[in-house]
A and B are shown apart, each in its own frame.
Chain A
Amino acid sequence: MSALIDSLAAEARLPADDHAQVRRGARKALLQYGFPDMKTEAWKYTSLRVLEKREFSAEKPAPSDRPVLPFEAVVLHFDNGILATDGLDLPEGVSLVPQTGDQLAVADYGDRSGAFAWLNLARFEQAWHLRIEGRLERPLVIATGTAEDFQGDVHPRLFIELAAGAQAEVVEVQQDRGQGLVNIVQDITLGPGAILRHLVSRRVAQSAWIQRSAVTLARDADYRFHVLDRGGRLTRHDLNATLVGAGANAEIDGTVLVNDRQHVDFHTAIDHQVGHTNSRESFRILADGSGVGVFNGRIHIARGADDSHSDLNTANLLLSESARINAKPELEIYAEEVTASHGATIGQLDDTALFYMRSRGIPASEAAALLKQGFAAAPLENIQPEPIRTWLLGELKNMM
């Protein structure tokens, strides 16, 4: 981790704004706690060795590609991690301003398991505040891409605020081609009755891709998260949803594909702080080649959060001799009148199904591909609106 620690000292690259003190505080916290190792419970299955050997370059890389999408959308392009503001045309009800010092000063990421969020706060160049009011007609696309010669470290920071009753679809299109570090911190708040569909389509090359999304749901808010992660050298996504108002509902659906020399680690936590809240989660990992998939899903129901209901399900496929899957579904329940359950399986393609398809003249490889695709598509099938679903399912099909 020496290169990262060294980079902390390179203050010269940081913009001269009002946030120097916040950055210094974060840097102090990070130096105090250090980076996690495999003895850190939350990082038990993910080694940071890839980063240890990496040298980061301050050279400006070539521009990254803007995504080509088959549906109409408002696109915010984070080119190599930095928002391209030229020609940005935001629809009515959407505002984008830099975050204030007060907003940043309250950030606290605990001990070393939050090291990358501290690192983000110590090194960010831009911190944006995106506010959405009313109902957005077109999806809002946040495209974060890196170019092939990207070897630096970037720390995008974004606060998404949905006002009371707002409705939006936020689609994150993440495409990495480089070999640096992309370290994203997102804070998302949903006001009373707000509805957010948050979709992530990610494909990472050699960069380490670390993302932390912290979502807070007020009364009657509804948050739906879908992810299609097509693997990367080292990807870690922490998604925490905190339900603080009665009637709040959170749903998480994910499909992760990993193949040779890829490692994807998903940590989700759903925290029912008050009663009359619901959550559901379904997560699938397909590990092929020498890929490693990690899923840690935690459900916490606080004392007094009676009449909360939660269900978590993770099904995983191990498709090759050297692939590995580690799953840890957790329940932490302090309230009485609740139902909480989880199920986890790790297995392989069903021989009977394969035999059935082959007996009907489908070649073995095609039959396996169909089964895999069917398995991987399940968490994506209830995506709304339809054009986005078709697009993501098409991306999945291309991968197979």
Chain B
Amino acid sequence: MNQTVEQVNQVIQQRYKAGFYTDIESDRMRVGLDEEVVAMISAKKDEPTWLLEWRLKAFAQWQKMVGPDWAHLKLPAIDFQKIHYYAAPKQKNRPKSLDEVDPKLLETFDKLGVPLHERARLAGVAVDAVFDSVSVGTTFQKELKEAGVIFCSFSEAVQEHPDLVREYLGSVVPPSDNYFAALNSAVFSDGSFVYIPENTRCPMELSTYFRINARDTGQFERTLIIAEAGSEVSYLEGCTAPMRDENQLHAAVVELIARKKAKIKYSTVQNWYPGDENGKGGIYNFVTKRGDCREDDARISWTQVETGSAITWKYPSCILRGDRSAGEFYSVALTHNHQQADTGTKMIHLGKDTTSKIISKGISAGHSNNSYRGLVRIAKRAANARNYTQCDSLLIGKTCGAHTFPYIESANATAKVEHEATTSRIGEDQLFYCRSRGLGEEDAVAMIVDGFCKEVFKELPMEFAVEAKALLEISLEGAVG
């Protein structure tokens, strides 16, 4: 009997490998949200007065706002007073280097396959690891410093580079932008900060790994990436959380600023705990991500693979302000069991000769609902703007839903906008063909899904592409038959 239970557990573990919990003593702020909690977070971080005022203003705005109800999601009421807004692993003093970090934490990230220690040198990717509300360490800081690149936790940036933070914070996503951005602005606890100086190509890929560990907490991190003129950076983001029966809230804000001829590539593999097969538990993922091509010839590219979270509400966007600037969005969103996703992008064409491309692939299985929601807006002065959008949906099973809501607005007679969308199931003939060549049904489905997503996967950095492919296969387990 014991053996059976163990076997079952093993299978569950395999399906969501990141579902373990690290037993580490943590320092949690009291439950609930009010001005005092906002001030306490600010005090914990030893923040300057202007930032505290900024937070309090955001909090006041948030209190006046109501949550969004327009998405194709069944949103349960979230009790914001039952969440701990700050949780951090206990450590006596802030570790000066990775050697001083609690080995339990390092072990956690090791288990997740995030190279923080010895392996870091081999992987050649600089990582900022965020555990609950704080960053526990950033690798390769010295090497990056030599190139002039700043890559550190957000709290560190507030202390070390206050002018840069003050100039850019909230300049792409102002606190009043939306309900969850306002909440994040009030209570954000950490995140990553990247600054690439002029004419610099970042010598290595930068990466942040977000981990929610503590119970009844929310994670509210902020990422700010500034690419000066002529610079280039590729940034990766991964996320996981333990398996729990309760839902947990994640409300992040990501701001990208690309100056003249700068290039930013932002890739995400989102694998928050999606809840169990009955829809119990899982992360509520409400994220505001926006890039600003602030000057001419800037380029911002978003690539995302979304397999996790009970609810995903996320629209990585590009404001194409500079002339000839370009925005790209490549997305694979997979929902299974009772997951719900309402995700897409916004491309706001303001400058002349701006171009954007959107490739979105949605896969729905089980009882899930998967929606693409996108906006392409061509402003009056955006002469010769071009957009191409393709969104395809794949349905696996009779109880899921796949939806497409594209908003296309054009106010310039020289602009060209094209949109295509299709929805279909995996063809019997395709399956039959694969099976007649000796593939099992699940393998055949995995192979077809892989082909369906190929256009997006090829945009991902190699390590991520391998991980994304494996994730899709695991997430689809049990979806067939």
Binding site for B on A (CB under 8 A): 41, 45, 303-304, 306, 316, 318-348
Contacts and interface: CB of A to CB of B under 8 A. Distances in A.
A266 to B, nearest CB: 14
A344 B421 CA distance: 9
Contacts of B403: 330-333
Nearest to A315: B418
6 contacts: A321-B413, A329-B406, A330-B406, A331-B402, A332-B401, A342-B404
A336 B410 contact: no
A328 B410 contact: no
A327 B408 contact: yes
Contact of A328 (B408, B412, B425): B408
A347 B417 contact: yes
Contact of A346 (B70, B399, B415, B423): B415
Contacts of B402: 331, 333
Given A318-B413, A326-B409, A346-B408, A335 B398 contact: yes
Given A333-B395, A341-B422, A326 B415 contact: no
A348 B420 contact: no
Contact of B422 (A41, A340, A346, A348): A340
A318 B411 CA distance: 8
Contacts of B278: none
Contacts of A345: 416-419
Interface of B: 70, 72, 378, 380, 393, 395-425
A326 B407 contact: yes
Nearest to B412: A318
A344 B406 CA distance: 10
A329 B421 contact: yes
Contacts of A344: 406, 408, 417-419
Contact of A339 (B412, B419, B423): B423
A245 B1 CA distance: 53
Contacts of A347: 415-417
A341 B421 contact: yes
Given A327-B408, A328-B406, A346 B417 contact: yes
Nearest to B408: A327
A397 B72 CA distance: 43
A39 to B, nearest CB: 10
A321 B381 CA distance: 9
Q: Interface majority SS on B: helix, strand, loop or mixed?
A: strand
Nearest to A340: B423
Contacts, number: 114
Contacts of A340: 422-424
A346 B416 contact: yes
Contacts of B421: 329, 331, 341-343
A337 B425 contact: yes
Nearest to A300: B403
A319 B413 contact: yes
A78 B293 CA distance: 56
Contacts of B423: 331, 333, 338-341
B281 to A, nearest CB: 25
A146 B72 CA distance: 41
Given A329-B419, A330-B403, A333-B393, A339 B413 contact: no
Contacts of A333: 393, 395, 401-403, 423
Nearest to B426: A336
Given A304-B398, A333-B401, A346-B416, A324 B411 contact: yes
A346 B401 contact: no
B415 A318 contact: yes
B358 to A, nearest CB: 13
A323 B399 contact: no
B404 A330 contact: yes
A222 to B, nearest CB: 24
Nearest to A296: B407
Given A45-B409, A331-B404, 15 more contacts: A306-B398, A318-B413, A318-B415, A320-B413, A325-B408, A327-B408, A333-B395, A333-B402, A334-B400, A335-B395, A340-B423, A344-B417, A345-B416, A346-B408, A346-B410
A-B pairs with the 9 shortest C-beta distances? A344-B419, A318-B413, A331-B404, A346-B410, A341-B422, A346-B417, A340-B423, A327-B408, A347-B416
Contact of A338 (B405, B409, B412, B425): B425
Contacts of A303: 398-399, 401
Nearest to B399: A303
A342 B418 CA distance: 11
Q: Which among B72, B378, B423 has the highest number of chain A CB atoms within 10 Å?
A: B423
B417 A338 contact: no
Nearest to A312: B421
A41 B70 contact: yes
Contact of B420 (A320, A321, A324, A343): A343
Nearest to A318: B413
Contacts of B414: 348
B390 to A, nearest CB: 10
Nearest to B420: A343
Contacts of A332: 72, 401, 403
Contacts of A337: 425
Nearest to B403: A332
Nearest to B417: A346
A334 B398 CA distance: 8
Nearest to B396: A336
B378 to A, nearest CB: 8
Given A41-B70, A347-B417, A318 B393 contact: no
Given A333-B403, A340-B422, A345-B419, A326 B398 contact: no
A327 B374 CA distance: 12
A339 B415 contact: no
A251 to B, nearest CB: 19
B178 to A, nearest CB: 14
Contacts of B422: 339-341
A379 B408 CA distance: 21
B305 to A, nearest CB: 22
A35 B223 CA distance: 41
Nearest to A337: B425
Nearest to A325: B410
A397 B264 CA distance: 51
Contacts of B409: 45, 324-327
Contacts of B416: 345-348
A282 to B, nearest CB: 15
B339 to A, nearest CB: 15
